[in-house]
Amino acid sequence: MSEVFLNVHIQPRASKDEIVGEHGGRIKIRTIAPPVDGKANEHLTGFLASVFGVPRRQVQLMAGETGRLKRFRVLDPVVWPLEIEAILGPKPQ
C-alpha cells in the first residue's frame, strides 16, 4: 500500500475546482465550495478523490480543518495528475 501526503493551500469560492500550481511550498487548489460548516473540506475530499482516481474513503484530511492550509493523505493513488507531478515529481512507488 502506498500513501501520499499533500500540503495544500485552498482558495474557496473560486469559479471552478482546479489544481493551479504551487503557493508557499504547498499545492494551491481552487475550489467552488464556500468555507462554511465543513462544506469546503467535504467538497475538496471528493475533488481529490476524483483527481487521484480513488474512493472518497481513501482521502483523509489530516490537519487544517478550519484554515486554508491543509494536509491530506491519499491512499493508493491510481492516477498521478500532471499538475501534481510538476510540483511533487513522479509518482512514488
Residues of the chain with pLDDT under 50: none
Q: How many angstroms separate the CA atoms of 79 and 76, rounded? A: 9
3-state class (DSSP) for residue 73: strand
Across the chain, mean pLDDT equals: 93
Model confidence, pTM: 0.93
**What does each C-alpha distance from 34 to 12, 15, 58, 84, 91 come to in angstroms?**
6, 11, 23, 23, 31
What are the structural domain ranges in the chain? 3-72
CATH 3.30.1200.10 at 3-72, yes or no = yes
Q: Is the Cα dihedral 18, 31, 23, 74 positive or negative?
A: negative
- Over the stretch 33-47, which tens digit does the pLDDT of each residue have? 998 888 889 999 999
C-beta of residue 77 within 8 angstroms of C-beta of residue 52: yes
